[in-house]
Amino acid sequence: MAEIPSTARVVIIGGGAVGVSSLYHLAKAGWTDCVLLEKNELTAGSTWHAAGNVPTFSTSWSIMNMQRYSTELYSRLGAEVDYPMNYHVTGSVRLAHSKERMQEFQRAKGMGLYQGMNLEVLGVDEIKGKYPFIETHDLAGALYDPADGDIDPAQLTQALAKGAREMGAKILRFTPATGVSRENGEWIVHTEKGDIRCEYVVNAAGYYAQKVGEWFKPYGGRTVPMMVMSHQYVLTEQVSEIEAWSKEVGHKLPLLRDVDVSYYLRQEKGGFNIGPYEPNCKAHWVNPSDPMPDDFSFQLYPDDLDRIAEIVADAMERVPIVGSAGISRIINGPIPYAPDGNPLIGPMPGVPNAFEACVFTFGIAQGGGGGKVLAEWITEGCTEWDMWSCDPRRYTDYTDRDYCIEKGKEVYGNEYAMHVPWHRWPAAPDRRKSSVHDKIRELGGQMGAYNGWERANWFAKPGDDTSEEATHTWGRSGPWEQRIKEECEAVRDSVGVLNLPGFSRFWIQGEGADEWLRGFCTGALPKVGRMNLIYVSDKRGRILTELSCIRLAENSFVLITAATAQWHDGELIRNSVPEGVTVRETTAERETLIIAGPKSRELLAPITDADLSMGWLTHQHATVAGKKAFLIRVSFAGELGWEVHAENADMPAIYDAVRAGGAKPFGMWALNSLRLEKGYRAWKGDLSTDYSLLEGGLERFVKFDKPQDFTGKAALLAEKQRGVKKSFITLIVDAKDCDAPYMSTIWHDGKVVGETTSGAWGYRVNASIALGMVRADLAVPGTELEVEIYGERCRAVVQPDQPLWDPENARIRA
Ligand SMILES: Cc1cc2nc3c(=O)[nH]c(=O)nc-3n(C[C@H](O)[C@H](O)[C@H](O)COP(=O)(O)OP(=O)(O)OC[C@H]3O[C@@H](n4cnc5c(N)ncnc54)[C@H](O)[C@@H]3O)c2cc1C
């Protein structure tokens, strides 16, 4: 039996594909003093029974990056570690039943091209050329992904394990971790065979991750947001026709996914593997009467063919030879789900030196890339690609048990659904409501969730179609279009109000707060009584976050940031403040109204004692409607305006008074359009660690000559000397029905030269706007480019480096 080492740099708990890939990548990075603990045999969790499909397809840039990397790794791994592996790169055919689905494919194709892949959109008459046995009469087309395939998950895990061991890392099988404790800034991982002291610990426990996560609660941890679904695939007997065909052509059939019906169909030796994601799905271990067993190693759930029979029958109609074979076996196993179906990879919220690499729903396809990302988090403190889509901190404390169950089932039952921009997934709404929520709903507010907080996206009028079906479009037009236009026009011509609960707020106080902030951010601090934007860089000079910095006194500041950034920025701040400086978070105690438009002063004057002549970027305490409030003269909408911050209990009276003064309610979608016209960036779209501050056009927020050695200073200085590769631009696009979504490719002279980071229609400038990044030499006003929007290349012109609307900011300063 292997000896338990008494120390290690990193201990990974869990020996599935993901844990072992994490170990392999740590060792690759030179961190060989790492130990992996597996309670049973490697692969005993979800990994051993996985179907092993390895797609690259995604409409998320980061997930596509991770999956693409996996395919590249798996192609070379067998030879690299000298371990034979069944990895079949068969290609895949993904079927479309609608025009909208074809648009989705076009989008993935564009993104794939940018990542160096050759996804191909097929017309109906081309499908049989790739997949001879299929019925195509009711299809709109397909997407062919040449890099798709399947791998034996056990062989993959063993190959990664061999590679890791040969580099010096240790794997201890049949060694369950039984708990953790912390002493003198180190972790102690307990096992029945002894303790291991380590610097870092990783929860890679797959569907057991919530159980393991509980151990970290005394050290600041939270309940891991997840649940467990049962997923089945059906193996058929051999089909002689397929065997003969494969023999003749020398390869397997491509993997087939009928995403609108919701299944994958794969050739498995001479037979088939059919894997449905059924809408009437089943969660496991979610009731007290059905608790998760302590050990489910190498076990399966009982078959439940009834649940998937309809989809299996559909597959048999689509590829009739499948129906000629009997069913030989059904595999029904557990898959963990986070509420959005993406894994948790990165810092464990609230806990020092602890990480998560768990809750993978597609851990075979994403395991290779996931291990790389996890290892980068530990060894570098940051990742090559922006990985917010998988960051554990994207979920804060609204994700209770019911939320996780309802969302997990919704994601599973819609595993292949399109994520159209106007659609709200309906499960588990209303986790956090503002004090005026009911008033907003009565006004027709169509809500969206922002870090669990309900905010209006747009306001419907009686008779508007607010059904889910109406939202199934990538296009601009829909029942909301006219309303967004009216809301933007009210802000332009008169005054509008938007209730924003959930702004993340941190009150920073104490001797030395100013000096700390100067070293924390890249730029200059505001004077007392004023506010400005500050940016935080990572060590590579890339954009970590943007905060509004409000200076109340020499050493008293309020930092305000996006709702979704609550735990990300909270942690960044708390982990960095020196002793003597206190951080008090008031996110849930206060709400904000954005009041914007040329008549906002007129509206406020009779209901406030504030000095409304105080200039842009000032702030003051005052009363509004007789209630205590804090007013900031700022406007994300780009008009004269104030943010009114107040205690939750006081907000209804203030809201009523503002409405009585004639403010038209507007929603987040109007705000998005308005901010684009001002070129204001949004976090994790335009502002992400995929870009440096200099690439992002934020040099005016970098104070190179200040004495403080802020994070990223050296990297930014070096980049400044070298010159940037990419530059931020604003484009006016000759878009047709659809505006540019994020990560639409930008073309010039037949080459891909950049990507959009956001886009929408601007109702004040009456044009389709996109923000984006292009090769630096093309960021010249007047340059003609093309933006590929759902497959259609649209002419686009680079705009001067100033807001499209009110370039002098005269309206804001009015
Ligand atoms: C039927 C089915 C088909 C699937 N098909 C695919 C597919 O085609 N493609 C794809 O990408 N994904 C597929 N999946 C999903 C895939 O199986 C998982 O996403 C993946 O295996 C997760 O890997 P993991 O390493 O995160 O977790 P796991 O494989 O579950 O590994 C976690 C490990 O942690 C260990 N562990 C737990 N607690 C402790 C402890 N206290 N101490 C030590 N060890 C501990 C467990 O024993 C386990 O081995 C499928 C799943 C199912 C059920």
Quote the pTM value.
0.97
**DSSP 8-class letter at 382:** S
Tokens of 502: 């959930």
Nearest Cα neighbor of 358 from 370, 369, 349, 368 is 370
Q: State which ligand 1 atom lies nearest to the alpha carbon of 42.
A: 49
Q: What is the number of residues in the chain?
A: 814
With a 6 Å cutoff on the Cβ, whether 22 touches ligand 1 is: no
Please give the number of the atom of ligand 1 that sits closest to the Cα of 47: 21
Residue type, 808: E
pLDDT in tens, 419-463: 999 999 999 999 999 999 999 999 999 999 999 999 999 999 999
Give the C-alpha separation, 362 to 369, whole Å: 11
> Does ligand 1 have an atom closer than 6 angstroms to the CB of 203?
no
Identify which of 232, 172, 228 has the alpha carbon closest to the alpha carbon of residue 50. 232
Atom of ligand 1 nearest to the CA of 21: 25
By alpha-carbon position, which residue is closest to atom 26 of ligand 1?
206
Q: For a substitution probing ligand 1, which of 46, 215, 307 has the most ligand atoms within 8 Å of its CB?
A: 46
CB 798 within 8 A of CB 732: no
Nearest-CA residue for ligand 1 atom 30 is 45
Report which residue type is found at 764: R
How many angstroms separate the CA atoms of 573 and 578, rounded? 10
Contacts of 683 (CB under 8 A, 6+ apart): 545, 546, 561, 562, 564, 565
Assigned token pair, 566: 């609550």
> What per-residue confidence (pLDDT) applies to 731?
98
Nearest atom in ligand 1 to the alpha carbon of residue 45 is 30
Question: By CB neighbour count within 10 A (0-12 exposed, 13-18 middle, 19+ buried), where does 784 fall?
Answer: exposed
Q: For residue 287, what are the contacts with CB-CB under 8 A and spacing of at least 6?
A: none
| Nearest to 340, CA basis, from 261, 406, 276, 274 | 406
In 349-420, DSSP assigns E strands to 354-358
Task: Please give the pLDDT value at position 3.
Answer: 81
How far, in Å, is the centroid of ligand 1 from the Cα of 179?
20
In degrees rounded to 5, what are phi and psi of residue 461? -100, 160
Residue closest via CA to ligand 1's atom 52 equals 50
What is residue 436's predicted lDDT score, i.e. its pLDDT?
A: 98
Please work out, in degrees rounded to the nearest 5, the angle formed at the alpha carbon of residue 557 by the alpha carbons of 552 and 560: 115
Judge if the beta carbon of residue 71 lies within 6 A of ligand 1: no
Torsion from C-alpha of 647, 648, 653, 657, nearest 10 degrees: 80
* Closest-lying ligand 1 atom to the alpha carbon of residue 363: 19
- Concatenated DSSP letters of 23-75: HHHHHHTT---EEEE-SSSTTTTTGGG---B-----SSHHHHHHHHHHHHHHH
Testing ligand 1's pocket by substitution, the residue of 255, 364, 412 carrying the most ligand atoms inside 8 A of its CB is 364
State whether the beta carbon of 359 lies less than 6 angstroms from ligand 1. Answer: no
Query: 21: CA distance to ligand 1 center in Å?
Result: 12
CA-nearest residue for atom 2, ligand 1, is 50
Judge if the beta carbon of residue 170 lies within 6 A of ligand 1: no
Give the list of residues 6+ apart from residue 55 with CB closer than 8 angstroms, or none: 67, 92, 145, 148, 255, 257, 362, 365
677 — phi, psi (to 5°)? -65, -20
Taking the centre of ligand 1 as the mean of its atom positions, its distance from the CA of residue 35, in whole angstroms, is 19
Q: How far is the CA of 367 from the centre of ligand 1 (A)?
A: 10
Tokens of 66: 């991770």
CA nearest ligand 1 atom 4, residue: 50
Residue with the smallest CA separation from ligand 1 atom 22 is 363
Question: Residue 328 contacts by C-beta under 8 Å, 6 or more apart in sequence?
Answer: 235, 236, 237, 271
Q: Whose CA is nearest to atom 15 of ligand 1?
A: 362
Residue 391: left if φ>0, alpha if ψ -120 to 50, beta else—which one?
beta
Dihedral pair phi/psi, residue 558, rounded to 5°:
-115, 130
Is the CB of 716 inside a 6 Å radius of any atom of ligand 1? no
Spatial distance between the Cα atoms of 340 and 775, rounded to a whole number of angstroms: 33
For atom 37 of ligand 1, the residue with the nearest CA is 205
Q: Whole-angstrom Cα distance, residue 510 to residue 514?
A: 9
The pLDDT averaged over each successive group of 10 residues in the chain (814 residues) is: 87 98 98 98 97 96 97 98 96 98 97 95 98 97 97 98 98 98 98 97 98 98 98 96 94 97 96 97 93 96 96 97 94 98 98 98 98 98 98 97 98 97 97 98 98 98 97 97 98 98 97 98 98 98 98 98 98 96 97 98 98 98 98 97 98 98 98 98 96 98 97 98 97 98 97 97 98 98 98 98 97 94
Check pocket membership of 14 for ligand 1, CB cut-off 6 A: yes
Two structure tokens written together for 728: 């931020």
Amino acid sitting at position 266 = R
Q: For residues 79 and 81, give the distance between their C-alpha atoms in angstroms, rounded to a whole number.
A: 6
Separation CA 339–CA 425 (nearest Å) = 11
Q: Is the CB of 274 under 6 A from ligand 1?
A: no
Query: Residue 41 contacts by C-beta under 8 Å, 6 or more apart in sequence?
Result: 15, 173, 174, 297, 298
398 neighbors 223 (Cβ within 8 angstroms): no
Task: Collect all residues with Cβ–Cβ distance below 8 Å to 123 and sequence separation of at least 6.
Answer: 141
- Percent of the chain scored above 70 by pLDDT? 100
Torsion on CA atoms 622, 624, 627, 632, rounded to nearest 10: -50
C-alpha of 204 from chain center: 20
**482 three-class SS:** helix
- The pLDDT assigned to 2 comes to 62
Q: Is 471 in the pocket of ligand 1 (CB under 6 A)?
A: no
Q: Whose CA is nearest to atom 33 of ligand 1?
A: 14
DSSP letters, 423-462, are ----SS--SB--TTHHHHHHTTEEEEEETTEEEEEEEPPT
Give residue-wise pLDDT tens across range 382-396: 999 999 999 999 999
CB 588 within 8 A of CB 594: no
Q: Give dist(CA 789, CA 106) in Å, integer.
A: 8
CA atoms within 13 A on the CB side of 788: 25
Residue with the smallest CA separation from ligand 1 atom 3 is: 50
Q: How far is the CA of 17 from the centre of ligand 1 (A)?
A: 7
